[in-house]
């Protein structure tokens, strides 16, 4: 279940509706408006705290911040991905085979976003590393200076950081994660 807090209108509301629709079209995940369910996702205006969500089901009210700069469908798809259990793609245990994190270029307060987790935290369920994942940061995200690279790709020509749509591998992994029986 989900609840759109008061105050999220216009572009924010459209982004939320579009993001929910995309998850429902490409996966077995279904969202219903909240009535009296104990566990639910609550979208709220995070103001300058930007865009964020806890990873995975935490129980009770699960907040998704749609703050300043988060008014696009792709960003909301990304944040819903966190609420559904996805970490950032560049946090996978096997990430060093695909990307190099340039720690010296990352703002100190954002380094936690680039942590690598072990297999006990992230299980990719056999889905290959996805440069095109909506959960992957871009090559300059959280850089100290706008021209600095924070993530170098090891595959020639690979592009990272798209925020337009779920990739085919995002959808596949989510369907495996939730043990979907039917193909979407």
- Burial code of 124-155, b = ≥16 C-beta within 10 A, e = fewer? beebebbbbbbbbbebbbbbeeeeeebbebee
Alpha helices in the chain (DSSP H): 11-26, 73-83, 168-177
d(CA 123, CA 181): 19
79 is catalytic: yes
Binding residue numbers for Zn(2+): 78, 82, 88
Nearest to 29 by CA among 162, 172, 127: 172
Q: Using CA atoms of 109, 99, 165, 110 in order, give the dihedral in degrees to the nearest 10.
A: 0
Catalytic entry in 79, 89, 100, 108: 79
Annotated catalytic residues are: 79
């Amino acid at each position: 279940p989900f609840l759109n807090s008061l105050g999220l209108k216009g572009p924010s509301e459209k982004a939320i509706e579009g993001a929910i629709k995309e998850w429902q079209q490409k996966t077995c995940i279904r969202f219903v408006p909240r009535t009296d369910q104990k566990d639910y996702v609550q979208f709220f205006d995070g103001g300058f705290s930007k865009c964020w969500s806890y990873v995975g089901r935490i129980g009770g009210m699960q907040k998704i911040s749609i703050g300043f700069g988060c008014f696009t469908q792709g960003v909301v798809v990304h944040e819903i991905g966190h609420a559904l259990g996805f970490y950032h793609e560049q946090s996978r245990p096997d990430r060093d085979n695909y990307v190099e994190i340039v720690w010296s270029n990352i703002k100190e307060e954002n380094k936690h976003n680039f942590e690598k987790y072990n297999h006990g935290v992230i299980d990719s369920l056999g889905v290959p590393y996805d440069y095109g994942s909506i959960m992957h940061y871009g090559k300059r995200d959280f850089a100290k200076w706008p021209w600095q690279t924070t993530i170098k790709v090891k595959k020639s020509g690979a592009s990272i950081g798209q925020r337009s749509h779920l990739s085919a591998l995002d959808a596949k992994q989510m369907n495996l994660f939730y043990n979907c029986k039917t193909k979407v």
